[in-house]
Amino acid sequence: MAERKPIKGITKERVEQLIEETLAVLPEKAKKKREPHLGANEPEASTCAVKSNKKVVPGVMSQRGCAYAGAKGVVWGPIRDVIHVSHGPVGCGVYSWGTRRNLMQGIPGVTSFPIDFTSDFQERDIVYGGDIKLEKLLREADGLFPLNKGLSVLSECPVGLIGDDINSVAKKMSKELDKFVIPCNCEGFRGVSQSLGHHISNDSIRDHVIGKREFKEEAGPYDIALIGDYNIGGDVWAAIPILEEIGLNVKATWTGDGEIEKIAATNTVKLNLIHCYRSMNYMCKVMEEKWGIPWIEYNFFGPTKIEESLRAIAERFDAKIKKNVEKVIKKYKPKMQAVLDEYRPRLEGKTAMLFVGGLRPRHTVGAYEDLGIKITGTGYEFAHQDDYDRTSPEMAKGTLIYDDVSEFELEKFVEELKPDMVGSGIKEKYVFQKAGVPFRQMHSWDYSGPYHGYDGFEIFARDIDMAINSPTWDLVKAPF
Amino acid sequence: MQTTDVICASVVTIKEFIAMSEAAVKPLTEHSPEEIEKVQNWINTEEYKEQNFAREALVINPAHACQPLGAQMVAHGFEGALPFVHGSQGCASYFRSTFSRHFREPASATSDAMTEDGAVFGGQNNLFEGLENAYTVYKPKMIPVYTTCMPEVIGDDLNAYIKNAKQKDLIPEDLPTPYANTPSFKGSHIHGYDSMLLAILKDLTVGQKVEGKCTGKLNLIPGFDGNTGNLREYKKYLEAMDIPYTMLADITDVFDSVCDGTYRMYAGGTKLEDAADTINGKATISLMKHCSPHTMKWIDSEYSGSKDILPLPMGIRKTDDFLMKLSELFDKPIPAALKAERGRAVDAMTDAHQYIHGKKFAIAGDPDYLLGIVSFLLEMGAVPYHILCSRSTKKFQKELQALLDTSPLYGSQGKIYINKDLWHMRSLCMTDPVDGIIGDTHCKWVARDAKIPHFRIGFPIMDRVNIHRTPVIGYQGAINFLTVIVNKFLDTVDETCEDQWFEMMR
């Protein structure tokens, strides 16, 4: 991949100076902690110099969530036919109920469960422990929702602190109900961000789910699984048709609109396609080690990356798939060209800054570039070194890279680099909109979507154009 | 003996092994359409309702949140205050997201990000670092601290920790740092509201009481209200009556702030010196009894002036009571303009009564809101039918029952459910149908299943715009709420009737 051209006005010197000025307000100790997490991009370096996956610096207003959020919101929550129990006090389940947009098929309350199940811990549960209550509520849940295919138990902070043993309750109840009952020790205080919640959830899939079911039909040469697509705004539903069109058989989706038994039987597929590397690479590696299933990262944001990815996927299969891929690419060219013709003239030369989680700070870069928009800064809430190493080559030299950026840092960066748009989360959104900076929520697609695949790009392009070119921005300054 | 043990152990292992390998690979299963249809019908039945109401351990779709959320709302409501969560950072992110989704506004709050070592050694070091950084970077005038489950379970001593932070000069000695213990495993967001408000007032009023001094002002406690339009409406009344006031935990300009090209982290809020002086006020009124029991008890013993707890002024009579109380306390007449507003509201209600009279409603929400909504519906001749509060007390139930009893014709049909959740509500609405459901966004699932309109009121509302800007209290609020309900009923008639019943007029 060719290195990107430098962006006018964005240089290493300027960016480093900006970082220095920004951090100057911090006390010495905090400054020392934050410094390694901010830097100017060096695409040619073998590893990204920006440090990551360290504890939040207290008090600076990080945007991070917790391990429970990573488990409930990200990995487990989207599995549609499982009852996900938020085990602990009432709040966590309420705040994470329906707030990620991981859409699912099924009949709610019958075959799918976009519902907040909680043990609603009271003081007596803290004092006496919640294991007996858990056992009882799992029975009640199974009785009231008999078509569930399993139950997950997602621990909140107090559960780990009071020493409850959800694992043995789960084991007992799994036997009694003859269903998956999966314990997940994802207490919010574990680890430094959502990321450990992903890892713990992956481990619980490894220990309690994978390999426990088998597909009735014979395994075929084109069987694949879609890993790390959470169906935000219907992303999975935009991605599957493309894969089917090129001749692949999508046997399971992890975990957007997911079904637990299909997930459990994934160990017979020929290839795992992983979109969000951060949250699901663990299970790809497990399946590779245990069953020899290779995996490949792909990117379905924007036509350039879709084409690149489809060709890379085709490389793993025979001539038939390769031929199909070229056919599909050719088929969608005119549709994509029409999108570009419509929006690119209005967006060419604009700049944007991103701060999201998972895969988006690097994976969406190509889609913006397809529209003629340059990314001047990007960063992750909860990434690790391997994410940043994958990010560096996608960004122009000297652009600003920020890890776990705090509110005042991002505010200052945006103030200085003046992007035409910021793509980040709900907590950041209104800060920038008040300042008159166009913004899109890029965790939830701002209640729009899908953004994956060819269909998704059309919507993405419309949304970005709408954000940047809305006439409402012209009204922000009063004429008097 | 030894041999037997070995044999037993190996037998168990083999058994376990067989069990594991049995569990190991099963074919995929599929529910038949008949099975699905059966369950789909079953969950709407009386029999299911009974099983649903027999639940003892499981809570499904609760209509309340946890204490620190309420504490954070109070903390946002003071000028220059930076809400500070002592505990997990994830909690702070959840609270901030919840407020931002509802108000479509920034909700700046920070946390000291306790992790595993905090769980072992306590959170003092996190608090030290957090307070120092937050103060240095964001320069707040006050840092209200409140807790999540984690420090509550391990028993952190906030009082000592904060004192120590000041002794170590990490934050200035004179920086107000009120703190509230807000364990999530007790009460709900409204109790956190009470605790934080009490803590802030206790802190700010230290040494402020002056014998014989009277500010001449009203101290108004609006309670946990996600409707900034309501708060503006209170101010409108007070200004119309020329009554000087201090609204406590005033989120009006915090969560309904302007977009003019400048982001102000500390927009609006009760001025700290005004809050400090409330102890010398002429009168204190709380408009949400259930959001302020401890605060009002303390105010009763410490503040000068009169103290009153009034119901949320929803509907005509409760608004009348509010205005008459203000008139009495401040010896000011109720201006003609407000009387005319009352007249217009009553006009709107009499004009529209035929579309709502006798209609049955399911209602879910916080206690004070429920009392207000029920009161308004009774005035309209509507029937509050299934009334549900997912966290409250028998005492509240009695209070609400007394309100229903004031209206033998419309109130007698209502039934109150406390400590029940929205999945119970679903069963109620499926087995004993109503014409509409009133409550926050979470009620939309019941509305969809029961095929009834959903009238959004309360907190949070995350799926419609600007509802928080439209008052539902006072005379104007009565007009607003009534208009939404009645026009929705009329829309439904127009959208669903057969051609021969489609008419020009309604």
Residue B286 has a pLDDT of 98
Terminus-to-terminus CA distance in chain A, angstroms? 51
Note if A390 is an active site residue: no
> Is A355 in CB contact (< 8 Å) with chain B?
no
User: What Å distances lie between residue B455 and A39, A99, B376, CA to CA?
Assistant: 49, 20, 14
Q: Given the residues A40, A48, A66, A184, select the one marked as catalytic.
A: A66
Chain A residues closer than 8 Å to B442 by CB: 97
Structural contact between residues B68 and B426, judged by C-beta atoms closer than 8 angstroms: no
- Separation of alpha carbons B272 and B270, rounded Å: 6
pLDDT value for B15: 54
Q: Is the ipTM of this complex over 0.90?
A: yes
- End-of-domain residue from the set B161, B194, B227: B194
Which candidate, B15, B179, B219, places its Cα nearest to that of B85? B179
- Is residue B478 situated within a structural domain? yes
For residue B442, being part of any structural domain is answered with: yes
Name the H helices within A107-245: 123-128, 131-144, 157-161, 166-177, 194-208, 235-245
**In chain A, positions 284-323, which contact chain B (CB-CB < 8 Å)?**
none
Which residue type is seen at A251? K
Element (H, E) at B399: helix B394-405
Going from the C-alpha of A69 to that of each of A78, A93, A198, B185, B417, the distances in angstroms are: 12, 10, 9, 18, 31
Which of B29, B50, B56, B93 would you mutate first to test chain A, the one with the most A CBs within 10 A?
B93
Of the candidates A198, A213, A443, A452, the residue annotated as catalytic is A198
**Of B272, B304, B332, which residue sits at a domain end?**
B332
Pairing of strands A180-184, A150-155: parallel
| Of the candidates A332, A367, A369, the residue with the CA atom closest to the CA atom of residue A351 | A369
Q: What are phi and psi of B456, to 5 degrees?
A: -80, 125
The CATH number covering residue B369 comes to: 3.40.50.1980
For residue B163, give Cα distances in angstroms to A333, B118, B182, B504.
Answer: 66, 19, 19, 71
Give the Cα separation of B423 and B434 in Å (integer): 16
**Whole-angstrom Cα Rg for chain B:** 26
- Is B502 part of a structural domain of the chain? no
Closest by Cα among A35, A192, A125, A167 to B118? A192
The answer to whether residues B86 and B188 belong to one domain is yes
Residues B145 and B240 in one domain: no
Question: Any catalytic annotation for residue A239?
Answer: no
Alpha carbons A305 and B26: distance in angstroms, whole number: 38
Tally of domains in chain B: 3
- Does B481 lie in the same domain as B346? yes
Question: One of B59, B149, B484, B493 is an active-site residue; which one?
Answer: B149
For residue B46, what are the CA distances in angstroms to A428, A475, A479, B42?
46, 56, 63, 9
Contact at 8 Å (CB) between A102 and A96?
no
pLDDT in tens, A168-219: 999 999 999 999 999 999 999 999 999 999 999 999 999 999 999 999 999 9
Do the beta carbons of residue A197 and residue A71 sit within 8 Å?
yes
> Which of B100, B107, B137 is facing A25, going by the closest CB pair?
B137
Backbone angles phi, psi at B488, to 5 degrees: -65, -45
- Chain segment A384-393, per-residue pLDDT in tens: 999 999 999 9
Task: Give the pLDDT confidence score for residue B12 in this predicted structure.
Answer: 47
- Evaluate whether B475 touches B344 at the Cβ level (below 8 Å): yes
Q: E-strand spans in A415-458?
A: 421-424, 439-441
Q: Is A221 on the interface with B (CB under 8 A)?
A: no
Same-domain check for residues B350 and B464: yes
Give the E-state strand segments of B275-434 in sequence order: 283-286, 306-309, 360-364, 383-389, 415-418
Q: Which residue of A has its CA nearest to B22?
A: A212
Handedness of CA A164, A168, A172, A174 (dihedral sign): positive
Instruction: Give domain status of residue B209, yes or no.
Output: no
A446 touching chain B per CB within 8 A:
no
Rounded distance between C-alpha atoms, residue A393 and residue A2, angstroms: 9
Q: What does the block give as tokens for B227?
A: 């409707």
Per-residue model confidence as pLDDT tens digits over A14-34: 999 999 999 999 999 999 999
pLDDT at B9: 42
Termini Cα distance of chain B:
90
- Domains defined along chain A, listed by start: 12-61+348-447 (3.40.50.1980), 67-191 (3.40.50.1980), 223-328 (3.40.50.1980)
Tell me, yes or no, whether B345 and B481 share the same domain.
yes
In chain B, residues with a C-beta closer than 8 Å to the C-beta of A61 are 108-110, 134, 137-138
* Residue B261 to chain A, least CA–CA distance (Å): 4
B481 and B443 share one domain: yes
The answer to whether A236 and A251 are in contact (CB under 8 A) is: no
| Cross-chain CB nearest to A427 (options B25, B52, B96) | B96
Given an 8 Å threshold on Cβ–Cβ distance, is B91 in contact with A91? yes
Confirm whether A346 is a catalytic residue: no
Chain A CB contacts of B121 under 8 Å are: none
Report d(CA A366, CA A352) in Å as an integer.
Answer: 12
Radius of gyration for chain A, computed over Cα atoms and rounded to the nearest angstrom:
23
Note the Cα A411 to chain centre separation in Å. Answer: 23
Same domain, B441 and B464: yes
- Whether residue B121 sits in one domain with residue B238: no
Judging contacts by C-beta atoms under 8 Å, the chain B residues touching residue A107 are 36, 40
Rounded to the nearest angstrom, the minimum Cα separation between A333 and chain B is 36
The answer to whether B377 and B362 are in contact (CB under 8 A) is no
Compute the distance between CA of residue B87 and CA of residue A91 in angstroms, rounded to an integer.
14
Q: Which residues contact A388 (CB under 8 A, 6 or more apart)?
A: A47, A48, A50, A52, A380, A401, A403
Whole-number Cα distances in Å, A286 to A127, A135, A225, A278, B458: 38, 30, 14, 14, 47
Return d(Cα A450, Cα A253) in angstroms, integer. 16
In a domain, B119, yes or no: yes
Q: How far apart are CA B239 and CA B243, in angstroms?
A: 6
Q: Measured between alpha carbons, how far is B132 from B130 in angstroms, rounded to an integer?
A: 5
**Residue A29 CA to its chain's centroid (Å):** 31
B50 to chain A: closest CA residue: A144
Using CA atoms, how far residue A134 sits from A82, A118, A139, A172, B455, in Å, is: 16, 10, 9, 11, 35
User: Which of B332, B360, B375 is the C-terminal boundary of a domain?
Assistant: B332
Taking chain B (506 residues) in runs of 10, the rounded mean pLDDT of each run is: 41 51 80 98 98 98 98 98 97 98 98 94 96 98 97 96 98 98 98 98 98 97 98 98 98 98 97 98 98 98 98 98 98 98 98 98 98 98 98 97 97 97 98 98 98 98 97 98 98 98 97
Residues B257 and B129 in one domain: no
| Pair B410, B289 in one domain | no
Distance of alpha carbon A70 from alpha carbon A194, whole angstroms? 4
- A400-403 and A38-40 strand pairing: antiparallel
CB B356 within 8 Å of CB B261? no
**Helix, strand, or coil here: A105?**
coil
As a whole number of angstroms, the distance between CA B403 and CA B410 comes to 11
Of B255, B253, B254, B236, the C-alpha closest to B245 is B236
| Rounded-to-integer distance, Cα A119 and Cα A129, Å | 12
- Can you read off the two tokens belonging to residue A43? 């695409």
Nearest CA among B471, B447, B467, B445 for reference residue B456 = B467
B293, B368: one domain = no
Q: Is residue B290 part of a domain?
A: yes
> By the 8 A CB rule, do A53 and A382 touch?
yes
For residues A372 and A367, what is the distance between their CA atoms, to the nearest angstrom?
9
Residue A79: beta bridge partners? A258
The confidence score (pLDDT) of residue A42 equals: 96
8 Å CB contact of B113 and A56? yes
Q: List the domain range (segments joined by +) for residue B247.
A: 218-332
* Chain A residues near residue B107 by CB distance under 8 angstroms: 427
Q: Is residue B504 part of a domain?
A: no
For B170, the 3-state DSSP assignment is coil
B12 among known catalytic residues = no
**Residue A329 near residue A313 (C-beta atoms within 8 A):** no
What are A440's two structure tokens?
Answer: 């899109």
Q: Please, which pLDDT band fits residue A2 given cuts at 50, 70 and 90?
A: confident
Active site residue: A69, A170, A352, A367, which one? Answer: A69
| Spatial strand order in the sheet of A249-255 | A249-255, A223-229, A271-274, A295-297
Determine the residue type at A366: G
Q: Is residue B35 part of a domain?
A: no
CB contact under 8 A, A146 and B134: no
Q: Which uninterrupted H or E stretch holds A39? A: strand A38-40
Pairing state between β A439-441 and B59-60? unpaired
Sign of torsion, CA B323 B326 B327 B333? negative
Q: Are residues B372 and B449 in the same domain?
A: yes
